[in-house]
Amino acid sequence: MINIVEMRSSILSFLMLVVGMLADHVWQLGFFTGTTRLIWYLLAYLPVAIPVIRKAISNLMKGDVFTEFFLMSIATLGAFAIGEFPEGVAVMLFYTVGELFQDAAVGRAKRNISALLDVRPESATVRRGKGFLTVHPEEVTVGETVQIKAGERIPLDGVMLSPASSFNTVALTGESKPRTIREGEEVLAGMININQVIQIRTTREFANSAISRILDLVRNAVARKAKTEQFIRRFARIYTPIVTFMAIGLVFLPWFFVSNYVFETWLYRGLIFLVISCPCALVVSIPLGYFGGIGAASRRGILFKGSAFLDRITEVNTVALDKTGTLTEGIFAVREVVPAAAEGDPQSDFLQLVTALESQSNHPIAQAITRFGVENGVQLDQAVIDAAEEIPGQGLRGSVNGRRVLAGNTRLLTQHHIAIDPLLQEKMEKTSGSLVAVAVDGQYAGYLVVDDRIKEDAPEAIRKLRQAGIKETVLLSGDRTAVAAKVAKDLSMDRYFGDLLPHQKVEQIELLKKDPSRVVAFAGDGINDAPALALSDVGIAMGGLGSDAAIETADVVIQTDRPSQIATAIRIGKATKHIVWQNIGMAFGVKALVLLLGAAGFATMWGAVFADVGVALLAIANAVRIQHKKF
Residues catalogued as catalytic: 322
Of 453, 454, 503, 442, nearest to 478 (Cα)? 503
Of 283, 288, 287, 286, nearest to 66 (Cα)? 283
Q: What order do you get walking across the sheet with 164-168 strand by strand?
A: 179-182, 164-168, 192-193
Q: Specify the DSSP class assigned to residue 330.
A: -
Q: Write down how long the chain is.
A: 631
Amino acid residing at 590: V
Contact in structure between 275 and 87 (CB atoms under 8 Å)? no
Angle between helices 458-467 and 565-599 (to 10 degrees): 30
DSSP string, 436-487: EEEEETTEEEEEEEEE--B-TTHHHHHHHHHHTT--EEEEE-SS-HHHHHHH
Of 142, 141, 96, 111, nearest to 3 (Cα)? 96
Of 17, 19, 78, 21, nearest to 44 (Cα)? 17
Q: What order do you get walking across the sheet with 124-128 strand by strand?
A: 131-135, 124-128, 145-148, 198-202, 158-160, 186-187
Q: Which residues of 292-317 are buried (b: 16+ CB within 10 A; e: fewer)?
A: bbbbbbbbbbbbbbbbbbbbbbbebe
C-beta atoms surrounding 24 within 10 Å: 17
Q: Specify the DSSP class assigned to residue 153.
A: B
Report the alpha-carbon distance of residue 408 to residue 626 in Å, rounded: 48
Question: Percentage helix, strand, coil, to 5, in the chain?
Answer: 55, 15, 30
Of 451, 434, 432, 453, nearest to 328 (Cα)? 453
Report the alpha-carbon distance of residue 300 to residue 298 in Å, rounded: 5
Alpha carbon distances (Å) from 274 to 56, 267, 270, 415, 619? 15, 11, 6, 75, 20
Contact in structure between 388 and 396 (CB atoms under 8 Å)? yes
Contact residues for 360 (Cβ-Cβ < 8 A; gap 6+)? 366, 385, 388, 390, 396, 398
Q: Specify the DSSP class assigned to residue 205.
A: -
